[in-house]
Amino acid sequence: MDWRDEGILLAVRPHGESSAIIETLTREHGRHAGLVRGARGAKLAPVLQPGTQLALEWRARLVEHLGHFRIEPVRSRAAAIMADRAALAALNAIGALLVTLLPEREPNEPVYHGTVALADALAEAAWDWPARYARWELDLLTALGFGLDLASCGATGATEDLAYVSPRSGRAVSHEAGGAWADKLLPLPGFLIGPGAPTIGAVREALRLTGFFLEHRACPALGRDALPEARGRLVRLLENHEMVAPG
């Protein structure tokens, strides 16, 4: 068995004295692992950094085997992202969430393209990358089968003045309908459903929203005990992060 594809490197685990098992998110083959011989040597170690875009050739005797990767770098993002501690934490959270929650070897082009676009935003130091990250988590919930219904109020059908999300149904709730139960509902930041420049405070609310459903819906359904600590580190760093629109 063999195939060729392109993917983004999510994680690297040492294997033996000189090799490593890498986790990648590929365009056509989903999240896929494989062994890279000589991965810890002087030639490949600088290339095998999370966030690197790779041309991949995978070979195995049987499809269910781990198999081996031959790799060629397409684009390195690590050096640019490492200059920003919070952006690096976001990159680590992306890899950890995908390795933890995304089914292996199931193609998902929306997740692939969304992840590549987010990694590019991190590498380019886009001012609004925290908001893009929050939207990425929202899209990940959808890809995992736990998408939120934010198009209209679950109680009245209204499409305006949506302010909350029900933790039970995952549906939006209008300000009027949810007022009496506001303390039992999750805030819905406006930038998740409409235009406008997001604030860092709104991003923190968005991550509390997506984090709730990732932890209480996705993790139990997928047999995971908890969200990866890498996401927690990102959330803590964003408590002191500023996000200022240019101009």
Tens digit of pLDDT for each residue in 91-103? 999 999 999 999 9
196 has a pLDDT exceeding 80: no
Looking at domain 80-238, which CATH architecture does it have?
Up-down Bundle (1.20)
Residue 58 pLDDT level (bands cut at 50, 70, 90)? very high
Please report the pLDDT score of residue 208 as a whole number.
98
231 has a pLDDT exceeding 80: yes
117 has a pLDDT exceeding 90: yes
Q: What's the CA gap between 9 and 117, in Å, rounded?
A: 14
In three-state secondary structure terms, 99 is: helix
Residues 6+ apart with CB under 8 A from 214: 97, 101, 137, 140, 141, 146, 227
Residue 30 pLDDT level (bands cut at 50, 70, 90)? very high
State mean pLDDT over 47-73.
94
pTM over 0.85: yes
CA 59 to centroid of chain Cα atoms: 27
> What is the DSSP track for 147-202?
--EEEEETTT---SSEEEE-TTT-EEEEHHHHGGGGGGSEE--GGGTS-SPPPHHH
State mean pLDDT over 31-35.
97
Q: What's the CA gap between 127 and 125, in Å, rounded?
A: 6
Domain with CATH 2.40.50.140 in the chain: 2-76
Tokens encoding 121 = 């935003």
> Percent of the chain at pLDDT above 70?
100
Domain with CATH 1.20.1440.120 in the chain: 80-238
Please report the pLDDT score of residue 1 as a whole number.
77
Q: What's the CA gap between 198 and 191, in Å, rounded?
A: 6
State mean pLDDT over 219-235.
97
197 has a pLDDT exceeding 90: no
Q: What is the mean pLDDT of the chain?
A: 95
Looking at 12-108, list the stretches that DSSP marks H as alpha helix, in order from N- to C-terminal side: 78-81, 85-101
State mean pLDDT over 100-120.
97
State mean pLDDT over 187-199.
91
Q: What's the CA gap between 107 and 29, in Å, rounded?
A: 5
State mean pLDDT over 99-125.
97
26 has a pLDDT exceeding 80: yes
> Which tens digit of pLDDT belongs to each residue from 157-185?
999 999 999 999 999 999 999 888 899 99
> Percent of the chain at pLDDT above 90?
87
Please report the pLDDT score of residue 198 as a whole number.
93
> Which tens digit of pLDDT belongs to each residue from 36-55?
999 888 889 999 999 999 99
Q: What's the CA gap between 203 and 243, in Å, rounded?
A: 10
Residue 118 pLDDT level (bands cut at 50, 70, 90)? very high
Class at the top of the CATH hierarchy for domain 2-76: mainly beta
